[in-house]
Chain A
Amino acid sequence: MTERTEPLVELRDVKVHFPIKSGLLVDRTVGYVYAVDGVSLSINAGETYGLVGESGCGKSTLGRGLLRLVEPTDGEVVFDGTDVRSLKGESLRRTRRRMQMIFQDPLSSLDPRQSVESLLVEGLKAHGLADDKAATGKRLRETLDAVGLPGSALSKYPHEFSGGQRQRIGIARALVLNPELIVADEPVSALDVSIQAQVLNLLEDLQNERGLTYLIIAHDLAVVRHIADTVGVMYLGGLVEEASSDDLYREPMHPYTRALMSAVPVPDPLVEDRRERILLAGDLPSPTNPPAGCRFHTRCPWAQPTRCADERPALREVLGGHRVACHYAEEIAAGRIRPHEVEPELVRPDDGGSPGDTGELIPTP
């Protein structure tokens, strides 16, 4: 593993806003979906950063924004010292070889009419790396071997594989270009539990062998905690807490993280029977019209009458390396503020498109 002092990836105040268009003849922008609204984080080389949050919190959009698969509206995306947002044409293409993506659903992200060989060669060709036939063949077989698929898979098509194997093809496709950074968007959530473990182990092995840097995006806190060194928790387009995986689990400080942790079912009746659940009232507010102040204050059992509703808390370091976006993090940790009942607010999914659909809207130029 290569140790570097400066981070491989640095995001500074990244925003991705999607306009909502309306009108029959002339498209008017009637509002924005604030999918990602000011996120700063950094990922060191060789490290795994896990991004968790519920659907619609902007975690996938952030991952895509990092690769410029959607254009960030504002902010800086620095990869290995260069601002990716300022790159164009050939230099962007060269940088993209070094950052690859693994998608959630291997069936829909693999073209059913392309053989595995064609799927893997496509990227190489695009980057002019497939000139030597013999070397390419060797490279493909080595890559398949690394993800645990036989060489005979090359001539087969995606439908001939099981879900776990398809995800291995998706990983091979990202790997074949020898990238430094891999963004994996829900890499195991479409898989059965027994297969999830295989894929998670594979991702870890590949990292150890090749010194890869990962950004793992997932909704499953247990998965993220298992694989990530650092975990960031997102809520409604913003990072609410960031800490090392162990710290975050040992002492979650943001009320949302606490609720999220207490909601994850643990396969152990002894734990389940004793647990205290923090049940959140109501649903996730719409990202078109996020609450003023702290975005979580409408559902927060610890919300206070002052500051919470009118001042958006910044992500600040509370303990060594533990960053929290909450005005009262210390008071809550010390038990000086007690949780109270929250009246659920009604959230309408038609307030401007369901949050899950935001990827299909056109990003602002």
Chain B
Amino acid sequence: MSLLDVRDLSVVFQRRGERPFTAVDKVSFSVEPGQTVGLVGESGCGKSVTSLAIMGLLPKRGNKVTGEVRFEGANLLKLRPDDMRDRRGRDIGMIFQDPLSSLNPVIPIGVQVAEVLERHQGMDRRKALREARQLLDAVGIPDPERRLKEYPHQISGGMRQRALIAIALACKPRLLIADEPTTALDVTIQAQILTLLKQLVDETGTALIMITHDLGVVAGLCDTVNVLYGGKVVERAARHELFARPRHPYTHGLLNSVPRLDSVRGERLHAIRGSVADNIPWTEGCAFAPRCDHVVDACLEGAPPLEPTATGGDLRCNNPVPVEVTVP
């Protein structure tokens, strides 16, 4: 059994008097114990909403979540709020993008780490703080004894993200969801945090869902990568396969449009034309069709199905990029 099995997850936002907006459209993927899975896509592709839906963190009103999120067999979407609260932080940890706004500015860091231990493991404050000290040490925060008493504004961005990781890992969850954990950080600090995450995942055997827009981050970290576009998974493949032979024109276009540090200079970037504003709804065809160089008639006759590929991945495309013509 998979650790996490997301099946046909849809999130529809609806406000009175407005057309409903489908942010996540029948997304399915699974995470095996200890596996690192990437959700990649640009802003508006539904990657963050997917993670919030899994964690049950979407607001109660104004949206409709359907489908199944099975964590070790139990459907998280059907749990009572109290039961979900027990699992959050204990079974599933989460790290957000901006560490300053996800830490409470008026509570010392030590207490914020200890809180999780008190809530889920029934420790008393003194014992929890001792444990918190060790956690801060484990995530590489220098002088953890003193950091315990300090407030988030007193430490740097990279240290805050480390503190957040300490909180997320405090109860040794079996799944960790990281939503753009390094986007707010400088590259050298990003490298520190990614190395730390990789090391902790290896040591503790925690499964990780990595949500990011940065293909470079995915390339170094994820076992399996799901590429999202317009709320749907358009391509899923093992890491090496995806980068060596991207089949979906969107994935292919993305990889070709990023300037690479190690590429030959002076080559023109192959931009994907248009923008997400040009998307058509999936009911009318492939959302990517208006921007796609490989578009065929069938692309404008309803959404293409997500079909397994010969290499063990999945692909949603009528006219995929031929295997020969790929990124050099």
Contacts and interface: CB of A to CB of B under 8 A. Distances in A.
B90 to A, nearest CB: 31
Nearest to B43: A192
Chain B interface bracket (under 10, 10 to 19, 20 to 34, 35 or more): 35 or more
Given A277-B191, A348-B154, A219 B186 contact: yes
Interface residues of A, number: 57
Given A226-B269, A266-B219, A269-B243, A280 B188 contact: yes
Interface string A150-175: 00000000000011110000000000
B258 A350 contact: no
B253 A264 contact: no
A262 to B, nearest CB: 7
Interface string A345-365: 111111000000000000000
A5 interface: no
B159 interface: yes
Interface stretch (A121-129, A193-201, A304-312, A333-341): A193-201
B259 interface: yes
A162 B159 CA distance: 34
A303 B252 CA distance: 43
B154 A350 contact: yes
A283 interface: yes
Contact of A162 (B258, B260, B277): B277
Contact of B216 (A264, A347, A349): A264
Interface string B153-183: 1111111000000000000000000000000
A269 B220 CA distance: 6
A263 B188 contact: yes
A194 B253 contact: yes
Contact of A283 (B159, B265, B270, B276): B159
A40 interface: no
B215 A194 contact: no
B272 interface: yes
Contacts of B158: 283
B42 A194 contact: yes
Nearest to B267: A226
Nearest to A281: B192
Contacts of B186: 54-55, 219, 284
B152 to A, nearest CB: 10
Given A267-B243, A283-B189, A193 B254 contact: yes
Given A162-B275, A279-B192, A284-B186, A347 B219 contact: no
Contacts of B213: 192-193
Interface string A275-298: 101011011100000000000000
Contacts of A164: 275
Nearest to A56: B186
A277 B194 CA distance: 11
A85 interface: no
A193 B262 contact: no
Contacts of B69: none
B272 A346 contact: no
B188 A260 contact: yes
Given A162-B277, A193-B257, A201-B271, A346 B142 contact: yes
Contacts of A345: 142
Given A279-B191, A348-B154, A265 B217 contact: yes
Nearest to A199: B271
A12 B261 CA distance: 30
B195 interface: yes
Contacts of A271: 219, 262
Given A54-B186, A193-B254, A263 B271 contact: no
B261 A222 contact: yes
Nearest to A284: B186
A200 B159 CA distance: 33
Interface in A228-282: 245-246, 249, 259-273, 275, 277, 279-280, 282
B85 interface: no
A83 B45 CA distance: 49
Contacts of B87: none
Contacts of A165: 275
Nearest to B182: A265
Interface in B120-164: 140, 142-143, 153-159
B319 to A, nearest CB: 19
Contact of B214 (A200, A265, A277, A348): A265
B268 interface: yes
A193 B253 CA distance: 10
B269 A201 contact: yes
B187 A268 contact: no
A56 to B, nearest CB: 9
Given A55-B186, A348-B154, A269 B265 contact: no
Given A162-B277, A197-B258, A267-B258, 4 more contacts: A54-B188, A163-B275, A344-B140, A349-B154
Interface of B: 42-43, 140, 142-143, 153-159, 186-192, 194-195, 213-220, 239-240, 243-244, 253-255, 257-263, 265, 268-273, 275-277
Interface of A: 54-55, 162-165, 192-198, 200-201, 204, 219-223, 225-227, 245-246, 249, 259-273, 275, 277, 279-280, 282-284, 343-350
16 contacts: A54-B188, A55-B186, A192-B42, A194-B42, A194-B275, A197-B258, A249-B261, A249-B262, A263-B190, A267-B215, A269-B244, A270-B244, A279-B195, A283-B157, A343-B142, A348-B155
